[in-house]
């Protein structure tokens, strides 16, 4: 796995973060593209920050499910905002860790002295996912465009069959394994002895804690309101997936999705398909001081891991976490908060089990001692992706803002974020407050 060395240099401060509500695909944001959602967040973030647009020098933004109309969403965030056209921009993608990648890229550029003020984030619209033509139809249409006579066109069209018109959705399976992420998570649950009951309980806690956070007003400052098309008469103000009235008993009644006979993963203990966008402002520490801004916190360290997809696809955080903590000079027990992306409850529980396993530490990491057990009172204290939702490219930025604000409320000092991702990738980020 790559070591992802962090450049020695200036400290990267997170001065503000913002997101849209996260909503179930096909609901409030079904008429908005990822670009629409991302531009809304970027514009509102700039306004709320009070930072003059001329101070920004870069935008790093991502989208996992690509648009056929917009291939460089990063640049579009500049062109569709009040930022100067001279602001540099690029597009990144690391599956579910995309906006973690955006944030660490920003931190790297700041450390190297190549950037002072950056916006990092991501947006996703599963409602607007592209539908492709079959290869046969696509090739036929190309040939059709070259035909010069009507008989030639008719001859080309006559080769098509009804099956050739079948729409092709974005790929859901790992190319190397032929398995969906859910099927891979199901394998992890079985291999690691993760029970259905423990998954449902984690899902319940995610909903309970997210609902409590909303009721306490904890998300009010970090979630913007979005006018809903086409008439723009309604406003989306809150996440619409959180279920404060769910119970472990209700979750236990749901049927398995990926292994209908022996499986344990259901729609209730997995993150739903979600639309939304999120972004953070990452700035050189001295620049923040010069502008009179008080950072929410700082990016202290990070690490990425890459595994064989044929093994445990979503176990990347268990490999990256020790490296990120070593770089930060911290132990697991030193952390005030741990926020783990909940792609599936089974994946979270599998990684937690690996954290605490001496056998895993020795055989997989070459370490004498395991990372340790995570205190449940410190884990996903305001809910996670199962309840809040998971717009692939936006989740990391949501987690950064949500965690730093909670650290502030608790007067805490350090936190660790973990994200598993398609392709057997993992990302871990350590944050700190002064």
Long-range pairs, 65-70, Cβ under 8 A, ≥24: 65/34, 65/124, 65/125, 65/126, 65/129, 65/130, 65/170, 65/392, 66/130, 67/33, 67/34, 67/35, 67/128, 67/130, 68/130, 69/33, 70/33, 70/34, 70/35
Q: How far apart are the first and last CA of the chain?
A: 31
- Backbone φ and ψ for 302, nearest 5 degrees, come out as -160, 165
Rounded CA separation 221/152 (Å): 62
- Choosing from 207, 225, 390, 413, the catalytic residue is 390
Structure tokens at 243: 């279920």
- Choosing from 207, 341, 413, 420, the catalytic residue is 420
SS3 content of the chain, % helix, strand, coil (to 5): 40, 20, 40
| CA angle 226–227–228, rounded 5-degree value | 110
Alpha-helical segments (H) within 147-238: 150-157, 181-191, 196-215
Q: Decide if 341 is catalytic.
A: no
- Residue identified by tokens 């139809």 is 137
Structure tokens at 193: 């002895």
Rounded CA separation 63/392 (Å): 8
Given a contact cutoff of 8 angstroms between Cβ atoms, the answer to whether 401 and 18 are in contact is yes
Tell how far CA 424 is from the center of its chain: 15
Q: Decide if 96 is catalytic.
A: yes
Helix (H, G, I), strand (E, B) or coil at 410: helix
Q: Are strands 274-284 and 12-19 parallel, antiparallel or unpaired?
A: antiparallel
Structure tokens at 57: 């020098």
Residues acting as catalytic residues: 96, 390, 420
């Amino acid at each position: 796995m790559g070591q992802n060395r962090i450049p020695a240099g200036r400290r990267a401060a997170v001065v503000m973060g913002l997101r849209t509500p996260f909503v179930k695909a096909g609901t409030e944001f079904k008429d908005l593209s990822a670009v629409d959602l991302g531009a809304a967040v970027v514009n509102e973030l700039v306004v709320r920050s009070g930072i003059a647009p001329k101070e920004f020098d870069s935008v790093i933004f991502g989208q996992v499910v690509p648009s056929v109309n917009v291939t460089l969403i990063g640049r579009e965030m500049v062109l569709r905002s009040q930022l100067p056209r001279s602001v540099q921009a690029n597009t990144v993608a690391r599956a579910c860790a995309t906006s973690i990648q955006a944030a660490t890229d920003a931190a790297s550029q700041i450390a190297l002295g190549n950037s002072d003020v950056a916006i990092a984030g991501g947006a996703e619209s599963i409602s607007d996912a592209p539908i492709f033509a079959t290869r046969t139809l696509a090739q036929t249409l190309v040939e059709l465009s070259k035909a010069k006579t009507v008989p030639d066109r008719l001859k080309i069209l006559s080769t098509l069959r009804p099956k050739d018109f079948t729409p092709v959705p974005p790929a859901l399976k790992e190319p190397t394994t032929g398995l969906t992420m859910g099927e891979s998570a199901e394998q992890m649950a079985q291999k690691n002895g993760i029970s259905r009951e423990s998954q449902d309980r984690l899902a319940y806690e995610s909903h309970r804690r997210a609902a409590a956070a909303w009721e306490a007003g904890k998300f009010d400052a970090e979630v913007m309101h979005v006018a809903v098309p086409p008439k723009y008469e309604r406003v989306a103000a809150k996440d619409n997936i959180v279920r404060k009235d769910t119970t472990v008993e209700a979750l236990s009644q749901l049927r398995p999705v990926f292994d209908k006979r022996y499986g344990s993963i259901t729609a209730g203990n997995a993150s739903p398909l979600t639309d939304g966008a999120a972004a953070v402002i990452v700035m050189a520490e001295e620049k923040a001081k010069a502008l009179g801004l008080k950072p929410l916190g700082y990016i202290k360290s990070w690490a990425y891991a890459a595994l064989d997809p044929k093994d445990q696809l979503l176990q990347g955080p268990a490999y990256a976490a020790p490296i990120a903590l070593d770089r930060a000079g911290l132990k697991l027990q030193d952390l005030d908060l741990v926020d783990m992306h909940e792609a599936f409850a089974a994946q979270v529980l599998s990684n937690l089990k690996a954290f605490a396993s001496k056998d895993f530490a020795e055989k997989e990491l070459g370490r004498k001692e395991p990372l340790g057990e995570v205190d449940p009172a410190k884990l996903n204290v305001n809910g996670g992706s199962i309840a809040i939702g998971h717009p692939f490219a936006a989740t990391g930025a949501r987690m950064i803002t949500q965690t730093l604000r909670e650290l502030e409320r608790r007067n805490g000092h350090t936190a660790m974020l973990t994200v598993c991702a398609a392709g057997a990738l993992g990302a871990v980020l350590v944050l700190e407050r002064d």
